[in-house]
Structure 1
Amino acid sequence: MVDLSKFDVNEVANRNNNIFGLPFSEDDARVVILPVPWEVTVSCNAGTARAIEHIFKTSTQIDLFDPNMPHGWKKGFYMREPDKKILMKSDYLRKEAELYIDFIAHGQDINNNKFMLKSLKEINEGSEMLNNWVYEQTADLLNRGKLVGLLGGDHSVSLGYFKALAEKYESFGVLQIDAHCDLRKAYEKFNYSHASIMYNALNEVPAIERLVQAGVRDYCEAEWNYICSSNYKVITYFDQQIKERFFAGENWKIIADEMVQYLPDNVYFSFDIDGLDPKLCPNTGTPVPGGFQSDEVLYLLRKIIESGKKLIGFDLVEVGVGETNYDAVVASRLLWKICNLFVKSNCTDEPK
């Protein structure tokens, strides 16, 4: 156990400590954050693989008092160092993917180009490797009794974690905050595209009994048809519909309570930061006008926990890197709040 008797929560953070300036080791921490620096299949702007280091740096500027869980941090939050081999593999395959995406964007047929066929094969194999790596890492942490959060990277990184959770929980639901549905099948022929994460999750992880999406405002006809034919396994709160309900006089509590009712007892929280208003995340890979304010998302998460449902895991993905650290500042504060709510949902003995 960590001796916290000399740790002053009100003083400047010690940057020699771990995330949020906390003095915990992985063994001591209840919540372990697994960084996944992977962005091979992003469709627009890259950079999210390197956002992790910026989030870690800005996290030391956060005041550690959270009125929703004043002493939750005493349970211990810890983030592993990003795996350099994963980052190097991502960098290599990202260059291949950029050439490939540019090729098909100009209407070229990959079947007439051996180099592009080779690149596509390498990218798909690399994505399978990444899925297996995430599964192995998260399964080990879960077996050790840790509460696990993922920090991306792009949204494709979550699939391995879903599979690890499916070995622990017979069934669970997913709450997805996102500007996109991510229900495309093998988008751009990438089997594990960031735009296909929820399609793959629903098809490869039978334990997921329902997907509730919120904030979606950019989607294709195939995704619309998938939702409509899902027999309510996928329930999507489109951004336009939410706004129109606001305009008609409904408040966020009514809509949030409705979302909570659709979720099962065990809930995974998948948070693509582009689900927020892009003024809060201007450098995310695929920004879309509209979206949530950060306090609206946190309110929804609190309502889930207050309902008695259990938060079993989370990811925070698609954070961008710009000329300033603003995206990382927003992300690190959201990460702090989510970690505290994660503890609140799973630990009945709040530390003093």
Structure 2
Amino acid sequence: MTDLSKFDPNSVGNPNNNIFGLPFTEEDAALVLLPVPWEVTVSYTAGTARAAEHICKASLQVDLIDTDIKDGWREGFYMRDIDKKILMKSDYLRKEAELFINYISQGEEVIDSKFMCKILKEVNEGSEFLNNWVYEQTKELLDNNKLVGVIGGDHSTPLGFFKAVAEKHGDFGILQIDAHCDLRKAYENFKYSHASIMYNALEEIPEIKKLVQVGIRDYSPVEVDYIKSSSERVVTYFDKNIKEQIFEGASWKQIVDEIVGKLPQKVYISFDIDGLDPKLCPHTGTPVQGGFEAEQIFYLFKKVAESGRQFIGFDLNEVGISTNEWDENVGARVLFKLCNLMVGAKINNHVTV
């Protein structure tokens, strides 16, 4: 066990320690974070492949207190080292994907270019490799009875984790915080696009019984059709509808109670940072006006926990890289909340300050 007798939670974060300046090893930590430095299919701005290392640096400024979960950090949070081979593969394939996206955006046909066909094949095979890698890494951790969180990277990164969670826990639901539905089929011809993560999850993982999306405000007609034809397997709370309900007198609590009621007993949180108001994440890959304050989403998470539902995993994706570390700072605080939520049920010790 990690000796905390000489660790001062009130002192400056020690950069020689791990995430949040904590002194835990992977063996002793209850929660292990897997960084996935991958952004091959991003369709607007890049940078999120390097988010985990920047979040880790910013996390040293996070005070170790969560007013909903007392001393959750004492259970141990640990982030694995970034796999440089995965990052190098992402960087290479990202350049290939940029060429491909530029080509098709001009109305060119892929079949007319052997080079573009080759790029498309390489990108799709690379994404399959990544999915298998994430699956193997997270399955190993789950088999060792670790709580697990994934840090992207773009939003394509957690698919392998979803599969490992399904094997471990059986039926579950996903609570998706996002500006986008991510229900497109092979967006830009990339089968495992960041814009296709939830489509692929629902098509490939039958254990996902419910997908509850919150904050959606940028979506396509085909995604609306998918939602309507899902027989309520997908329940979407559009940002516009939420805001109009609030304008007309509904409380956020009333809306949250309805959202929580749609979730099954076991809940996985998939958090795309662009679900927040872009003033909190201006350098995210695909920012969209609207969205939430972080406290609104934290309140939603708190009510899910108070309902007796079980958090079984999470991912945090699309955190941007900024010159003043603002995005990374917000990302670190969102991550701290997610980590505490995961260990909260274990320690079952809520406190109000």
Partner of 1:264: 264
- Per-residue CA deviations over 1:87-107 (Å, capped at 9, x if unaligned) read 000000000000000000000
CA contact (8 A) 1:178 1:274 kept: yes
Task: Give the letter for the 2:41 counterpart.
Answer: T
- Per-residue CA deviations over 1:184-223 (Å, capped at 9, x if unaligned) read 0000110100000000000000000000000000000000
Partner of 2:242: 242
* Per-residue deviation, 1:349: 7.3
CA contact (8 A) 1:212 1:263 kept: yes
Partner of 1:154: 154
Question: Equivalents in 2 of 1:25, 1:72: separation in Å?
Answer: 16
Task: Give the letter for the 2:25 counterpart.
Answer: S
| SS at 2:9 equivalent | coil
* Per-residue deviation, 1:348: 3.7
- Per-residue CA deviations over 1:318-344 (Å, capped at 9, x if unaligned) read 001122210000000110111111111
Question: Equivalents in 2 of 1:187, 1:166: separation in Å?
Answer: 25
Partner of 1:78: 78
CA contact (8 A) 1:51 1:153 kept: yes
1:24-43 residue pairs with structure 2 within 5 A?
Answer: 24-43=24-43
Task: Give the letter for the 1:211 counterpart.
Answer: L
- Per-residue CA deviations over 1:233-289 (Å, capped at 9, x if unaligned) read 000000000000000101111001100000000000000000000000000000000
CA contact (8 A) 1:192 1:200 kept: yes
Question: Equivalents in 2 of 1:22, 1:67: separation in Å?
Answer: 19
* Per-residue deviation, 1:43: 0.5
1:88-237 residue pairs with structure 2 within 5 A?
Answer: 88-237=88-237
Question: Equivalents in 1 of 2:263, 2:65: separation in Å?
Answer: 30
CA contact (8 A) 2:322 2:328 kept: no
Partner of 1:344: 344
* Per-residue deviation, 1:120: 0.2
Task: Give the letter for the 1:266 counterpart.
Answer: K
1:55 pairs with 2:71? no
Partner of 2:282: 282
Instruction: Classify 1:346/1:204 alpha carbon distance in 2 versus 1 (closer, same or farther; 3 Å).
Output: farther
Instruction: Classify 1:69/1:349 alpha carbon distance in 2 versus 1 (closer, same or farther; 3 Å).
Output: closer
- Per-residue CA deviations over 1:52-84 (Å, capped at 9, x if unaligned) read 111000100111122211211010000001100
Alignment length (residue pairs): 350
Unaligned runs of 5+ in 2: none
Task: Give the letter for the 1:333 counterpart.
Answer: R
Structure 1 residue ranges (4+ consecutive) displaced by more than 2 angstroms after TM superposition: 345-350
| SS at 1:183 equivalent | coil
| SS at 1:271 equivalent | strand
* TM-score of the two chains, using structure 2 as the length reference: 0.98
* Per-residue deviation, 1:169: 1.4
User: What percent identity do the matched residue pairs reach?
Assistant: 63
Question: Equivalents in 1 of 2:187, 2:23: separation in Å?
Answer: 42
| SS at 1:82 equivalent | coil
| SS at 2:242 equivalent | helix
* Per-residue deviation, 1:347: 3.5
| SS at 1:156 equivalent | coil
- Per-residue CA deviations over 1:167-193 (Å, capped at 9, x if unaligned) read 111200000000000000000110100
CA contact (8 A) 1:156 1:195 kept: yes
Task: Give the letter for the 1:206 counterpart.
Answer: P
Unaligned runs of 5+ in 1: none
Task: Give the letter for the 2:208 counterpart.
Answer: I
- Per-residue CA deviations over 1:109-134 (Å, capped at 9, x if unaligned) read 11111110000000000000000000
Root-mean-square deviation (Å): 0.9
CA contact (8 A) 1:181 1:219 kept: yes
Question: Equivalents in 1 of 2:221, 2:195: separation in Å?
Answer: 14
Question: Equivalents in 2 of 1:168, 1:66: separation in Å?
Answer: 28
CA contact (8 A) 1:180 1:219 kept: yes
Question: Equivalents in 1 of 2:282, 2:346: separation in Å?
Answer: 33
Question: Equivalents in 2 of 1:112, 1:233: separation in Å?
Answer: 39
CA contact (8 A) 1:311 1:346 kept: no
Question: Equivalents in 1 of 2:164, 2:284: separation in Å?
Answer: 27
